[in-house]
Amino acid sequence: MPTVHPHIGRKAGAWLAALALAACQQASPPPATPAPAAPQPSPPMTVAKAIVVPPGVVLPSLDFPPGPLYVCDATGGRSPIDYEPRVETLCRRHPEMGPCQYERNACRAKGGRVYTAKGEEITPAVEAEYDRIVRRVRFQADGAPARR
């Protein structure tokens, strides 16, 4: 005869075994939720052109060949405009930035004209367009009337 605990009867032992068996079962999966509604398609994005160049101004190509970016054509002849290597890397990507413009303006201050390595001239109109692109504003500290 099987050994049964003296305080527990056969029915109670069966109930305990059934309860232990039920406790070891996996939980039932959660009820299925309805599928979410398909999102409404958003209207197509319109992207404005990054740079709108006014008529009559031709920006030089940004495809610079290896070597100096610009050449200063002054009365003494043509000389390359040399930049520190980090500045040259910046100017190859963003010629409108201040350090690039500073050297070009230094050439013009000596009475020279600035050309790219491909022979395209960087005119004051191009410089003004670069200023407009980066929204650069120049202030005069001495209160003299602005030059045009």
What does the pLDDT average to over 68-96? 89
Q: Note whether residue 94 is domain-resident.
A: yes
Q: Which of 56-61's residues contact partners 24+ apart within 8 Å by CB, and which partners?
A: 56/125, 57/125, 57/126, 57/129, 58/120, 58/126, 59/126, 59/129, 60/95, 60/116, 60/118, 60/120, 60/121, 60/122, 60/126, 61/116, 61/118, 61/120
pLDDT of residue 99: 87
41-57 tens-digit pLDDT: 777 766 555 556 666 67
Q: Note whether residue 21 is domain-resident.
A: no
Q: Note whether residue 6 is domain-resident.
A: no
Q: Note whether residue 110 is domain-resident.
A: yes
pLDDT of residue 30: 75
What does the pLDDT average to over 57-82? 85
* Size of the chain in residues: 148
Quote the domain boundaries for residue 99.
Answer: 70-133
What does the pLDDT average to over 119-144? 77
Q: Note whether residue 78 is domain-resident.
A: yes
**Count: domains in the chain:** 1
Distance from C-alpha of 64 to C-alpha of 118, rounded to nearest angstrom: 8
| pTM of the full structure | 0.54
Q: Note whether residue 87 is domain-resident.
A: yes
